[in-house]
Amino acid sequence: MKNSIPNTAKISPSDFVIFGGGGDLSTRKIIPALFWRFVDKQIDDKSNIIICLHKKTKLETLLNLIKPHTFNSIKSDETLQKQWNKFHKLLTLITLDLITGDGINDLTLLLNKNSNKKQICIFYLAISSNLFETTCNLIRKSNLNSLHSRVVVEKPIGFNKVSAIEINENLYKTFKEEQIYRIDHYLGKETVQNLMALRFANTFFENQWDNKNIENVQITVAEEIGVADRISYYNEYGAIRDMVQNHLLQLLCLVAMEPPSYFDANQVRDEKLRILKSLRQLSDDDIQTGQYQGYENEFGKSTNTETFIALKVNIDNWRWAGVPFYLRTGKKLSTRASEIIITFKNKPHNIFSKLKDFDKKTDKPNMLIIRVQPNEGLKLKLTSKEPGPGGMRFFPSELNLSFNETFIERLPDAYERLLMDVARGNQTLFMRLDEVLAAWDFIDPIVDKVQSKPPQLYRSGTMGPEDKILVKNNHEWIDPKE
Ligand code: BG6
């Protein structure tokens, strides 16, 4: 039987101010997310969405940009079309030059209308981090920051630890830590949150969750797309800063952290921080990088930027000593899939091994596959007996929980959940400053190593260069299956 996604609690009326409102992030993710929360009545018409644009733009033009990322069949679905039309009434466009401050009075007027109602105000900095300082100064000097304001910033926070500190010092001139929401959208993904439910709302797995029972952990975030028009940004950051410093390390933290006493923002983040601080520094042998063929042509000149990276990470604590965590991510790979695979230790002794028709290939360890996207779900790989008489023959079977099939409606995008958490003032799924800095402490030395040798070339549509890390431990990558 399919379940519907439970109703969500309405948020208090809020002003969402999006700086960089005409950009990619805003039109592809933020505004569509707000629309869906409006459709589900979590946002009502007392909320306002103020879209700050660099150039004067007509609402119609902006809506045409947003529409394809919101829903495709807009014309065929009358109810959605009606909601879409109602949603427009929440939107106000203003032209604002963040450098000169031209247009700030329009924003001030709009926000002051609601200031006596103590309306929550969310400033979303959907802009490059080199504009954070001027934007925050503008907010402060125009007295737009109040007890009810929050600010949202995107990863990557900085380019390394030093620049992350600088960015935060600038944020702190205007906002307090409790007002700052550092988004890592992977934390808003349904299956990622389900990982916490799996571990801490059940006893079954948690009892097996350590070095006595687990052989290795693999985290793969594979993308089919290349870097396209983001190449100037990407070439500076590479896969290590763009994906590993944030998304992959956050996934690793959720797999490895100790149970917090309560599901409370600071307790969850304290536990993640402990993991980040327990990561052993990597040696050259633990790092493999790749670049897809044709990347240099796209960039226009020779470059060593990695579009693929694989790492072997060790966590120096009692629970995980001796368990390798293999992380890999890359662009232009053969598939788009993110998976966390926990391979359990194999049986200490196989009682079936002396049977006449015993097939060694069926002597496989159990595996838990957490499919983050697409086709979100969980699979537990088991060995079962083939049905029927004629001895004990085995076949690989699986317990399969597919969220797509279990829930009738579409799974909400990560930004929907995260934006509502900002409005509710819940920082659990956002990164605290000390976490960001601890992640850079681990990443900065890896960047130096990555840059010291050229990446191996790999063909687009493969899973990256041939493995050189796992093989040394008699392990192998398990590629995502459809
Ligand atoms: C972003 C990275 O944070 O995440 C992109 O900057 C990447 O390079 C994207 O493509 C992947 O996100 P998702 O949700 O599509 O897996």
Q: What is the pLDDT of residues 429-466, one digit of tens each?
A: 999 999 999 999 999 999 999 999 999 999 999 999 99
Ligand 1 atom, smallest distance to 373 CA: 16
Ligand 1: residue of 159, 185, 191 to mutate (most ligand atoms within 8 A of CB) is 185
- The residue nearest atom 15 of ligand 1, judged by CA position, is 223
Residues 124 and 270 in one domain: no
State the pTM of this model.
0.94
Ligand 1 atom, smallest distance to 247 CA: 3
Q: Is 223 close to ligand 1, i.e. is its CB under 6 Å away?
A: yes
| Total domains in the fold of the chain | 2
Does residue 259 sit within a domain?
Answer: yes
Residues 118 and 197 in one domain: no
Residues 238 and 134 in one domain: no
Ligand 1: residue of 187, 189, 247, 418 to mutate (most ligand atoms within 8 A of CB) is 247
Q: Which residues contact 153 (CB under 8 A, 6 or more apart)?
A: 125, 129, 132, 167, 171, 180, 181, 182, 183
Does residue 273 sit within a domain?
Answer: yes
Residues 310 and 445 in one domain: yes
Range of the domain at 287: 187-473
Residue 45 CA to ligand 1 center (angstroms) comes to 31
Q: Is 339 close to ligand 1, i.e. is its CB under 6 Å away?
A: no
Q: For residues 127-150, give the mean pLDDT.
A: 95
Q: Are 408 and 2 in contact (CB under 8 A)?
A: yes
Residues 122 and 249 in one domain: no
Ligand 1: residue of 229, 243, 309, 339 to mutate (most ligand atoms within 8 A of CB) is 243
Residues 138 and 205 in one domain: no
Identify the residue whose tokens are 């409005």: 423
Q: What is the pLDDT of residue 210?
A: 98
Residues 233 and 364 in one domain: yes
Residue 347 CA to ligand 1 center (angstroms) comes to 38
- Smallest CA-to-CA distance from 96 within 144, 60, 64 is with 144
Does residue 406 sit within a domain?
Answer: yes
pLDDT above 50 for 1: no
Does residue 72 sit within a domain?
Answer: yes
Residue 27 CA to ligand 1 center (angstroms) comes to 15
Query: Which of 244 and 75 is assigned the larger pLDDT?
Result: 244
Query: pLDDT tens digits for 79-97?
Result: 888 899 999 999 999 999 9
Centre a 10 Å sphere on the Cβ of residue 380 and count the other Cβ atoms it contains.
Answer: 17
Does residue 162 sit within a domain?
Answer: no
- The residue nearest atom 8 of ligand 1, judged by CA position, is 242
Query: pLDDT tens digits for 350-371?
Result: 999 898 888 888 889 999 999 9
Residues 234 and 359 in one domain: yes
98-102, 169-173, 227-231, 324-328: least confident range: 227-231
Residues 194 and 83 in one domain: no
Does residue 168 sit within a domain?
Answer: no
Residue 62 CA to ligand 1 center (angstroms) comes to 23
Residue 145 CA to ligand 1 center (angstroms) comes to 30
CA–CA distance from 247 to each of 329, 331, 353 (Å)? Answer: 10, 15, 42
Give the catalytic positions in this structure.
Answer: 247
- Smallest CA-to-CA distance from 293 within 41, 465, 95, 78 is with 465
Residues 144 and 196 in one domain: no
Domain CATH for 304: 3.30.360.10
